[in-house]
Structure 1
Amino acid sequence: MGFNLTVNGDRLSSAADPATPLVDILREEVHLTGAKPVCREGFCGACMVLVDGEPTPSCLLPAALADGREIHTVEGLAPLGTLNRIQAALEASDAVQCGMCFPGMVVSLTHFLTTRPDATRDDIRAALTGNICRCTGYERIVEATLLALATT
């Protein structure tokens, strides 16, 4: 049994076991390694992708449920060699440390910026509850998000 999905605008087919987590399809078949299979329980947010525009932990989504869906990974959020506005703000704010959580955080914050252009500091902190970072303490991430909101 095969399935089809669209990843970053490219239509793909897979013959993988339908129960295979989407994160494994993305990494092993599509060779996009931004989504990180860290906890495999949907708790940490390191594997976050957009599925039909909504942030989704790809470790919890069986590949068969991605059939016919539009998937965007961190690699597809901006044209190759460029940064979207949250990526640019995170870089300008020196908010990135080890990088393990950041692909998922960028996906979540990219979605957040499109849905909450009037967000407050508390809104940003609430939006990050599905993404765990053990390095930064979040303050620079919040500051970078405020910077990104100011550059619209």
Structure 2
Amino acid sequence: MNDIDDKLAERGLSLPDAPAPAANYVPYVQSGSMLYVSGQISSGTGGPILGKLGETMASEEGAKAAETCALALLAQVKAALGGDLSRLVRVVKLTGFVASAPGFHEQPKVVNGASDLLVALLGDAGRHARSAVGVAELPLGVAVEIEGIFEVR
């Protein structure tokens, strides 16, 4: 087990299999030392985590959904690196999309679910630039989608 696996296990978490793309795109693209990972949707053991923040979900539930996006992002990074997460240098940027009801303004609190987990797992290498955007709808009716940019070696 590597350090990330140990930290995941301490939290009762594990990385899922890297999700396959749902349309005509690739899950990640590496250009030099930068790895661009396509948006990962909120998904748990029962399938996609559906909902709209401020209507059918509270911010805390949204943060848990965002955490699943971070796990899927790391799964894609692991796949891109041939299973060797020790090649991950740092998280550079996340862009989080939150399905939001009118008047809902806690998108940053929701996306913190992903950010907090990455910092817990990676320390300073998990600190990143970020955007948290509210949207009317997301694919499949999911609550959260997050894409990421990572530096790798």
TM-score (norm 1): 0.27
Higher RCO (C-alpha 8 Å, min separation 6): 2
Larger fraction in strand: 2
TM-score (norm 2): 0.27
**Structure possessing the higher radius of gyration over alpha carbons:** 1
